[in-house]
Amino acid sequence: MQKLTRVVLAVLALAGTTATMAQSSVTLYGRVNTTVERQKVGDVTTTGLFNNSSRFGFKGTEDLGGGLKAGFQLESGFALDTGAGSGWTHPTTGMSFARQSEVNLSGGFGVVRLGNFVPASYYASADYVSMHNHDTGSSSDALYYDPVWFGGLSTKNKIGYRTPDLGGLTVDASASLHEKDPTVGQRKNGYDLGANYNLGALALGAGYSTVGDNNQFALRGLYTFGQFTVGGYYQRNDQNLLGTRNNFRLAGMYSMGASEVHLNVGRANSWSKVSDSAATQYTVGYNYNLSKRTKVYGYYTRVNNDANASYNSVAGKDFSSLAAGIRHNF
């Protein structure tokens, strides 16, 4: 009888473990992405191996029943060319989860998020348009500016909410808490809003972020017809010290089998309080998809800075790069 009891207890324990495993899941994911480039800043040329936002992460969910789920996501950046942990827009040391570290609760009401994550306003505008290399590396959008993300608050200490899918429309809102951090300029909380509306071949987006007297607003559209995809975004910035500026980008992609040809052009007008601070960026690229997860690619990108502009460079110096690379997602 005692032996039978032990067997029953063992079976029950195994069943409980199996049930728990069935209700929970953890996924390892990531991307390794690097390029060989010949970069030029002003008159100085450098040839080398460059990392393009390589990263790995863990994400998981637990089914709590009744349509309620708990989830988390931890993401770390690393430099593929050296193996070292890569920096982020707030100070980090070594390998860290500075790219993303959040816990969330989701259900029919949407998703409540707590932690450190990239602003939804960026994903709804600039990132969505940068199709050739997912807005990474030397060809990433050098002209986009977010006063919350880049102005000191970075992506940390956030409380966020995402609506459920409302007939193709989702809206994300978040608050970034300054927590009286002496390294944060204005010591004011930042706020971010992003919206995406998908209508099949047409995808629309809008983003807004603000902290103190500084804010930005962006509108984006992307349309796919046959083998062509065209899109663009417009951004309006208002900065207390720099004044206002307009920034826009147009992008196009032509797909033919495993091949993709990309072209995008961006223009940031001068800040109203800083003369000769305009810049133009353009990129021509080619991707060859070896599989759904792996591609080889090449591009040429250039930023032309006016005398007082320093996008991807130092003031008045132009930047360019000729690159060839490999990207693999897992």
Of the candidates 295, 298, 263, 296, which has an alpha carbon nearest to the alpha carbon of residue 281? 263
Q: 24-42 pLDDT, tens per residue?
A: 899 999 999 999 999 999 9
Percent of the chain with pLDDT over 70: 93
Q: How confident is the model at residue 21 (pLDDT cuts 50, 70, 90)?
A: very low
Tokens 């804010």 label which residue?
215
CA distance linking residue 37 with residue 254, whole number of Å: 24
Average pLDDT for the chain: 93
- DSSP code per residue over 116-164: E---HHHHTTHHHH--SSTT-GGGS-SS---TTTTTT-TT-SEEEEEPP
Question: For residues 304 and 280, is the Cβ–Cβ distance under 8 A?
Answer: yes
Q: How confident is the model at residue 187 (pLDDT cuts 50, 70, 90)?
A: confident
Q: Pick the range with the lowest mean pLDDT from 81-90, 217-226, 258-267.
A: 81-90
Task: Determine the pLDDT at residue 23.
Answer: 76
CA distance linking residue 37 with residue 35, whole number of Å: 6
52 compared with 15, residue with greater pLDDT = 52
CA distance linking residue 160 with residue 154, whole number of Å: 15
Q: 274-307 pLDDT, tens per residue?
A: 999 999 999 999 999 999 999 999 999 999 999 9
Q: At residue 2, does pLDDT exceed 70?
A: no
User: How far apart, in Å, are the Cα atoms of 150 and each of 73, 167, 214, 248, 302?
Assistant: 22, 33, 11, 18, 22
CA distance linking residue 108 with residue 247, whole number of Å: 37
* The CATH number of domain 33-329, selected from 2.60.420.10, 3.40.50.300, 2.40.160.10, 3.30.70.920: 2.40.160.10
Question: For residues 74 and 121, is the Cβ–Cβ distance under 8 A?
Answer: no
Task: Determine the pLDDT at residue 4.
Answer: 39
Q: How confident is the model at residue 239 (pLDDT cuts 50, 70, 90)?
A: very high
Per domain, the residue ranges of the chain are 33-329
User: How far apart, in Å, are the Cα atoms of 12 and each of 7, 8, 19, 61, 322?
Assistant: 9, 6, 10, 24, 62
Tokens 């998809």 label which residue?
289
In angstroms, what is the C-alpha Rg of the chain? 23
Q: How confident is the model at residue 14 (pLDDT cuts 50, 70, 90)?
A: very low
CA distance linking residue 181 with residue 28, whole number of Å: 33
List all residues 6 or more positions away from 36 whose beta carbon is below 8 Å from its beta carbon: 47, 48, 49, 50, 323, 324, 325
Q: How confident is the model at residue 20 (pLDDT cuts 50, 70, 90)?
A: very low
Tokens of 100: 């993303």
CA distance linking residue 19 with residue 62, whole number of Å: 11
State the CB neighbour count (10 A cutoff) for residue 48.
10
